[in-house]
Amino acid sequence: MKRRNFIKNTALSSAGLAIGSTLVSCADDNTKTSNTVVANTAKASLPLVIATWHVEAATAKAMEVLQAGGNALDAVEQGCRVEEANEKGQSVGKGGLPDRDGNVTLDACIMDKHGNCGSVVYLQNITHAVSVARKVMEDTPHVMLAGEGAKQYAISQGFQAEDLLTEASKKAWEDWKVKSEYKPIINIENHDTIGMLAIDNNGDISGACTTSGLAYKMGGRVGDSPIIGSGLFVDNEIGAAVATGLGEEVVKTVGSFLVVELMRQGKSPQDACEEAISRIVNKPTSDYKNFQVGYIAVNKQGETGSYSIHQWFSMTKFQDGINEQIQSDYFNKA
């Protein structure tokens, strides 16, 4: 059986479908090399949405899109926009904490079921970075736009330029300036970068990620969130993953791509997230006690997983009418 057909046959319908646990080796079609696919026992109903941290309003919006018949791409974009517009969230969109010079700079990306992707880095003055990333993906010949070019492109597409530094974020920055101590803080907020993955009624997967990055970072710093494969990766035949935490450590291990490749090799989303974290913490020089990284993942069968270095990372999951925050298991139990 061709791999693509095998996976298609095991994809779940909106009614939900149980799949037996089978190890299948199969030759691929002429676009891929041979591979091994494990179909885990799963009973998932579609659609479903997962997101990093505690973002129930965002997952609710995404589910609303999916239940109205929208696709996963629309769902993740609309879901992320909720947090970008939420001024109380100080790590995403408007109200994001600035860099050390007081500039709010945003990173975002989006990826669809075809493997198309778009991203923006170091974007200023535009709240909905995820929507600019989608425009880059759909309406330009490029994958990534940065800085002033990204901003000018957004404005040319009708996005409104505005000051993203709210009074609360300005005050936090001024307080920080008293000591000007740069230290990534573990679990800065009750939520952080929002990364969202969705499977729609057709069983197709998309993902998005948006952030103001690390608070008080150096001017010009870009994290993992807009880097395809690091902050986010989607393979519609296998699954998807998204990262949060100290972007530098995610980039060094190409974390989200790693999670998806581990799922391709047969690992469950949970095991794949755990292995990706172990690649970070088991480096001989790892300073993991001083930073957080968390992953969430979903596979084509609708199984999900999440794992982090430290406690208090969580995933919000909306499925079967239940929109809930799930505490993630974590590595550092010492």
Residues forming the site for ligand SD4 (CB under 6 A)? 192-193, 211, 213-214, 223-225, 244-247
Nearer to ligand SD4, 47 or 207 (CB): 207
Minimum CB–partner distance for residue 222 and ligand SD4 (Å): 8
Q: Is 150:121 a contact under the CB 8 Å cutoff?
A: yes
**Residue 22 a catalytic site member:** no
**Token pair 């700079």 in the structure block, residue:** 105
Strand ranges, E, within the chain: 17-19, 22-26, 35-39, 42-44, 48-52, 106-111, 117-123, 144-146, 194-199, 205-211, 232-235, 239-245, 293-299, 304-308, 314-319, 322-327, 329-330
Distance CA 292, CA 180 (A): 21
Nearer to ligand SD4, 78 or 244 (CB): 244
The tokens for 32 are 């891929």
Return the SS3 of 98: coil
Nearer to ligand SD4, 226 or 305 (CB): 226
Nearer to ligand SD4, 87 or 189 (CB): 189
Distance CA 163, CA 95 (A): 9
Minimum CB–partner distance for residue 279 and ligand SD4 (Å): 16
Nearer to ligand SD4, 64 or 329 (CB): 329
Distance CA 97, CA 95 (A): 6
Among the options 193, 210, 244, 316, which is catalytic?
A: 193
Minimum CB–partner distance for residue 27 and ligand SD4 (Å): 38
Minimum CB–partner distance for residue 77 and ligand SD4 (Å): 19
Q: Which amino acid is at 121?
A: V
Distance CA 3, CA 9 (A): 10
Minimum CB–partner distance for residue 211 and ligand SD4 (Å): 5
Please identify every residue annotated as catalytic.
193
